[in-house]
A and B are shown apart, each in its own frame.
Chain A
Amino acid sequence: MARIGVFVCHCGKNIGATVDCERVAGEAAKIPGVVHSENYLYMCSDPGQLKIKDAIRDKKLDGVVVAACSPHMHERTFRRAVAEAGLNPYLAEMSNVREHCSWVHQDIEDGTAKAIDLVRVMVEKVKLNQPLTPIRVPVTKRALVIGGGVAGIQAALDIANGERDVILLERDPSIGGHMSQLSETFPTLDCSQCILTPKMVEVASHPRITLLTYSELEEVDGYVGNFQVKIRKKARSVDMDVCTGCGVCMEKCPVKKIPSEFNVGLSMRPAIYTPFPQAVPNVPVIDKENCIYYIKGKCKVCEKFCGPGAIRFDQEDEIVTYDVGAIVVATGYSLYSVGEKPPGSTIAGYGEYGYGNIPDVIDALQFERLASASGPTEGHMRRPSDGAEPKTVAFIQCVGSRCPEKGITYCSKICCMYTVKHAMLYKHKVHDGDAYIFYMDIRSGGKNYEEFVRRAIEEDGVVYLRGRVSRLYRKDGKVIVRGADTLSGTQVEIAADMVVTANATLAQPDSQDVAQKIGIAYDKYGFFSEKHPKLAPVETNTAGVFLAGACQAPKDIPEAVAQASGAAAKVLEMFAVDELEREPTIAVVNEDTCVACFFCKRICPYSAVEEKEIKDRDGNLIKLVSHVNEGLCQGCGLCVVACPSKSIELLGFTDEQLFAEINALAE
């Protein structure tokens, strides 16, 4: 016969006001198997926990039900207390009489009756509880950071400075990400490159960091603490150990007319190139799609002029495998294309803005390159069409963002601030120029951000016009901006020399593929989902995988860096122990009844179900069955529901236990 103790908590007035806790305790005492029952004002407090411990010892309890708040709140607290009294913690359960009862009822009679039912249900479950032991998994103390933008760089440096090995993966030829393209940063106007490049160099020279550029993630296997990652090192066609980065090959390359990705098409680059002069590593790659040798089989000019002889036309992609314990995903964002609707995209462009057709309509990233001292104009304001200095510039905010019609309902968050910065930079460079900003709201939440906006308006004379722009068109070398100012209630028409659009921040176009490779969730926009929007913004639902930067949601630099350091702290926390402890409430397969349909394998969101071979003593295959990987299973129970032969049980939530609960209710 079971010996169960019931402890009813008043939670001050939270439960006590709508549930007669004394009566609940009294009724609980009448349930067969309950040998101890009491109520107390705050069960979670020290004296409350002491009551539980004392009862376990005195009454020799073999099960505990605490009727109090949600298990999310205090299950750990009570299980720890129970364990301290020498009972297996998984023999203790919470009955939620606060969120599920007192908070949703007004009448004390109703509340009390329901609380009694809830306690009875849980007592019946606990009678069937089995002692469980936490799962222990070893940890490989090496981290993989995916993405070499500022977030990835920060996470890699923090982990490496915590004396752990890091592999930093970047698919472009150089690390640096979007931040390396920026001119100055808000709200301090310090030069982006000046604060980023030292970090890039530090990454490259750090003994704990293995830097893999021009490389992509192929496959992720395993589970928390024990991931195996496959990485494709794309052929650079240049030997990284031999190349000195002198740059002669780039000068001599006969192909010169390829739009530079780094300068967003505002300048041209050769077929053998580094994205920018401060690239890390400073080793060029050959762009095979545009290299004459790869197209026609002749040329090899770069090889001829290369002093150290570093050109390797026969280099092939290489697949490397690493064991890592944790993964930080920092893959960043992409910018919404204003022009025509890109093929395959579900998001329509803004044809009415003429981006791509009107040369003097540029996007925000192009403006960054125009304003940058290392950009194609060396920081001089010159418009793309004729190289003239624009005297009237219109900036358009919320291009794509907050526009359900284009499929982007969210606010891109960073545009308000970078547009102020753009207008300010422009006014600082062209003193007699006019800057107009079309906006819907100025969202300047952040340290010193609002002051920055007011400075642009009051000191630099930037004119804000509240309204969207309906149309842009070309007339006599000018771009006519047709907008409105809702504050004065007027239509506005500006003959601008140049127009800059603040395009929406999107997830990377292939973010969903990456998420599926790693096994993490993403939202409908392709941004990766955090475990909890408030209390676990750095973790994902997959243990051992963390998020940093704009791959989770649009973020500015300080936020991305803060999250990266947060992710690094989480990784170092994991690496501080040799074995990880995990909740034992996971799925187990009954191998005798499993028919190997692998329905569970297909439905598992964590890729935790594997195929297992059952062999006889001679090694002959008898049958295949499903097997749940203890490290990966999160105990969600989907496979239990899906299994057609009822061969999977979730420990701690077995069918037997659940039916006992239902029976108790039906009595």
Chain B
Amino acid sequence: MQLKVPGPMVVSDFTQQVEAIIGQSVSKCYQCGNCTAGCPAAPEMDFGPQRIIRFVQLGLKDLALTSNTIWTCASCVTCTTRCPQEVDITGVMDALRIIAQREHYPVQDRYVTALNDIFLGNIRTFGRQYEIGLIGKYNLRTRQFFKDVMLGPKLFFKGKLKLLPHRSGNVREVREIFRRVKEESAASSANRAGRA
């Protein structure tokens, strides 16, 4: 990988893009590595959070957005809590996921996105989670049909799983939330397109 700086480039567009979402400058990060040190998901990541922040600082967009790190991140916020420079690392991860989705970067971890999609889909439909549906759809979509299947009966007999979905009384309001978010997101991306 090579970072090429062919001519004037005060701060790269990518860095500004991320900073606009988190509302903070990433230049505060002095690369101490405390975020990576405390990250419970770091062993599964191809780059630790500290490297991702460095990519953002230097505008290395492809490296940041194609890493599995942003999808492996569980948003536990340990990094942000412990950062001595008060950089919102979890916020940066959120921002990178948003940009990656918006700009159709290939997702490095299909399991994570599958779960996210199904999870949100259920909530939109039922106003709350439908566990059996979530497990079923997730296992089908990720083609691991018998994953954790033996846990099913146990949970069922403890009354943790219901066979049929339970609708929330306020499905309408939940759908309204989804609609508004979509609208605002479209408006802001149109805005960005207009500025560019």
* Interface pair A490/B51, CB less than 8 Å apart: no
- B interface bracket (residues with beta carbon within 8 Å of A): 20 to 34
* Interface pair B2/A491, CB less than 8 Å apart: yes
* Interface pair B7/A391, CB less than 8 Å apart: yes
Residue ID in chain A nearest B31 by CB atoms: A487
A-binding segment of B8-16, B145-153, B162-170: B8-16
Tell me, yes or no, whether A97 is within 8 Å of chain B by CB. no
Q: How far is the CB of B91 from chain A (nearest CB, A)?
A: 17
A433 vs B11: C-alpha distance in the bound complex, in angstroms?
A: 11
Tell me, yes or no, whether B6 is within 8 Å of chain A by CB. yes
* Interface pair B3/A492, CB less than 8 Å apart: yes
Residue ID in chain B nearest A436 by CB atoms: B5
Q: Which of A454, A457, A488, A493 has the most CB of B within 10 A?
A: A488
* Interface pair A391/B3, CB less than 8 Å apart: no
Q: How far is the CB of A426 from chain B (nearest CB, A)?
A: 13
* Interface pair B1/A491, CB less than 8 Å apart: yes
Tell me, yes or no, whether A323 is within 8 Å of chain B by CB. no
Chain B residues lying within 8 Å of A461, measured Cβ to Cβ, are: 10-11, 27
Interface residues in B140-191 by Cβ distance below 8 A to A read: none
* Interface pair B8/A488, CB less than 8 Å apart: no
* Interface pair A489/B51, CB less than 8 Å apart: yes
> Using an 8 Å CB-CB cutoff, how does the interface string of B37-53 with A read, 1 for contact, 0 for none?
00000000000001100
A493 vs B7: C-alpha distance in the bound complex, in angstroms?
A: 10
Selected from B4, B5, B10, B55, the residue in CB contact (under 8 A) with A432 is B10
Q: How far is the CB of A617 from chain B (nearest CB, A)?
A: 83
Chain B residues lying within 8 Å of A128, measured Cβ to Cβ, are: none
Chain A residues lying within 8 Å of B101, measured Cβ to Cβ, are: none
Residue ID in chain A nearest B52 by CB atoms: A488
> Using an 8 Å CB-CB cutoff, how does the interface string of B20-34 with A read, 1 for contact, 0 for none?
000001011011000
* Interface pair B3/A488, CB less than 8 Å apart: yes
- A interface bracket (residues with beta carbon within 8 Å of B): 20 to 34
Selected from B1, B9, B11, the residue in CB contact (under 8 A) with A490 is B1
> Using an 8 Å CB-CB cutoff, how does the interface string of A482-518 with B read, 1 for contact, 0 for none?
0001011111111100000000000000000000000
Interface residues in A381-395 by Cβ distance below 8 A to B read: 391-392
Chain A residues lying within 8 Å of B2, measured Cβ to Cβ, are: 490-493
Q: How far is the CB of B94 from chain A (nearest CB, A)?
A: 21
Residue ID in chain A nearest B7 by CB atoms: A495
Selected from B4, B9, B30, B54, the residue in CB contact (under 8 A) with A434 is B9
Tell me, yes or no, whether B112 is within 8 Å of chain A by CB. no
Tell me, yes or no, whether A458 is within 8 Å of chain B by CB. yes
* Interface pair A495/B5, CB less than 8 Å apart: yes
A463 vs B4: C-alpha distance in the bound complex, in angstroms?
A: 14
Selected from A466, A491, A495, the residue in CB contact (under 8 A) with B3 is A491
Residue ID in chain A nearest B33 by CB atoms: A487
Chain B residues lying within 8 Å of A488, measured Cβ to Cβ, are: 3, 51, 54-55, 58, 60, 63
A378 vs B160: C-alpha distance in the bound complex, in angstroms?
A: 79
Residue ID in chain B nearest A495 by CB atoms: B6
Chain A residues lying within 8 Å of B30, measured Cβ to Cβ, are: 454, 457
A601 vs B5: C-alpha distance in the bound complex, in angstroms?
A: 64
Q: A457-B27, A458-B25, A458-B27 are in contact. Are A489 and B7 (CB under 8 A)?
A: no
Chain B residues lying within 8 Å of A433, measured Cβ to Cβ, are: 8
Chain B residues lying within 8 Å of A391, measured Cβ to Cβ, are: 7-8
Chain B residues lying within 8 Å of A466, measured Cβ to Cβ, are: 31
Chain B residues lying within 8 Å of A485, measured Cβ to Cβ, are: 3, 54, 58
A234 vs B62: C-alpha distance in the bound complex, in angstroms?
A: 66
Chain B residues lying within 8 Å of A490, measured Cβ to Cβ, are: 1-3, 58, 60, 63
Residue ID in chain B nearest A482 by CB atoms: B2
A432 vs B31: C-alpha distance in the bound complex, in angstroms?
A: 26
Chain A residues lying within 8 Å of B60, measured Cβ to Cβ, are: 488, 490
Chain A residues lying within 8 Å of B25, measured Cβ to Cβ, are: 458
Q: How far is the CB of A101 from chain B (nearest CB, A)?
A: 45
Chain A residues lying within 8 Å of B31, measured Cβ to Cβ, are: 466, 487
Chain A residues lying within 8 Å of B10, measured Cβ to Cβ, are: 432, 434, 461
A-B contacts, 7 of them at CB < 8 A, read A392-B5, A392-B7, A432-B8, A434-B5, A461-B11, A485-B58, A492-B5
A434-B9, A458-B28, A488-B54 provided; 11 other pairs, C-beta below 8 A?
A391-B7, A391-B8, A432-B8, A434-B5, A485-B3, A487-B31, A487-B51, A490-B1, A490-B2, A491-B3, A495-B6
B interface residues (Cβ-Cβ under 8 A, vs A):
1-11, 25, 27-28, 30-31, 50-51, 54-55, 57-58, 60, 63
